[in-house]
A and B are shown apart, each in its own frame.
Chain A
Amino acid sequence: MSANPFLAWLAVLVFDTCGQLAFKAATHHAEGEGLARWRAMAAQPWLWLGIAAFIAEFIAWLAFLSLVPLAEGVLLATLNMATVMLGGRLLFGERLTPRRMAGVALIAAGVILVGVG
């Protein structure tokens, strides 16, 4: 990851997106309720892949923030919302309706404002 802010940002984007999609995949491949459901999720790789991606993202995020100011970091990280949405469309057939896109865009704009403020 060295001292390249672009690479650190890319790592945050990739790990965050993969992690979210892996968590969603984990819930697809599990039967049962409660503890049995968690046992079923723990028995296949998706949940662990998601957790590994989450840890990697955390480290990449710390590296990224050590290279850019917080406001810029938050600004660039909101792109994750778009990639997770796109990934949900491609992998799970989630619909990209105008209202969903508007809602996510409003949230992203809000997160950016809080980060800048």
Chain B
Amino acid sequence: MKPGWRFYAVGFAVLMAFDTLSQLCFKLAALHAAPFAGDWPWLLRVAREPFVYGAIVGYLGAFITYMGLLRHAPVGPAFAASHLNVVSVLLVSAWLLHERLNPLQLAGAALIVTGILVLAGAERDDGAAAR
């Protein structure tokens, strides 16, 4: 059975959420375990950092979600659409980490969203033909 747009919308939203969770947790773990050093004390500091486990949960969730999407979605457009996390990580880093966004980054985010809408439209219009 060919899934409808709802399957893809929910699937990619969940994928984006898991991806964003892991990126954010990685950043917070790195900040808390700073200064970086490629040695055992640093690794131990990282292992005691709860955010690392949030990052692992995010990775596993994203993996399971992506494999579920790939069951129906063609891999070419699906891989491209998975870059939606670039937009969400950008917005979350501005909102929670107070990183500054410049106009180029905002334009890039708008292009990514436009591209995904184009893919979604293509899928809706000729999705019945499969593949």
List residues of chain A with CB under 8 Å of any chain B CB. Answer: 20-21, 23-24, 26-27, 41, 80-81, 84-89, 92-97, 99-100, 102-117
Interface residue tally for chain B (C-beta within 8 Å): 40
What is the number of contacts between chain A and chain B, taking CB atoms within 8 Å?
A: 134
| Binary flags per residue of B28-51, CB closer than 8 Å to A gives 1, else 0 | 000000000000000000000000
B3 to chain A, nearest CB (A): 13
Q: Could you name 11 residue pairs across A and B whose Cβ atoms are closer than 8 Å?
A: A87-B76, A93-B131, A97-B126, A100-B122, A103-B122, A106-B112, A110-B87, A111-B112, A114-B90, A114-B112, A117-B106
Of the candidates A94, A96, A102, the one whose C-beta lies within 8 Å of that of B75 is A94
A102 to chain B, nearest CB (A): 6
Complex contacts, B114 vs chain A, CB 8 Å: 106, 110
Q: Is B115 an interface residue (CB 8 A)?
A: yes
Which A residue's beta carbon lies closest to that of B113? A110
Majority-rule SS of B interface residues: helix
**Given that A106-B112, A107-B111 are contacting pairs, would A84 and B76 also be in contact in the complex, using a CB cutoff of 8 Å?**
yes
Majority-rule SS of A interface residues: helix
Complex contacts, B90 vs chain A, CB 8 Å: 114
Complex contacts, B87 vs chain A, CB 8 Å: 110, 114
Contact in complex: A92, B75 (CB < 8 Å): yes
Complex contacts, A88 vs chain B, CB 8 Å: 74-76
Which B residue's beta carbon lies closest to that of A26? B67
Which B residue's beta carbon lies closest to that of A37? B71
Contact in complex: A117, B83 (CB < 8 Å): no
Complex contacts, B111 vs chain A, CB 8 Å: 106-107, 109-110, 113
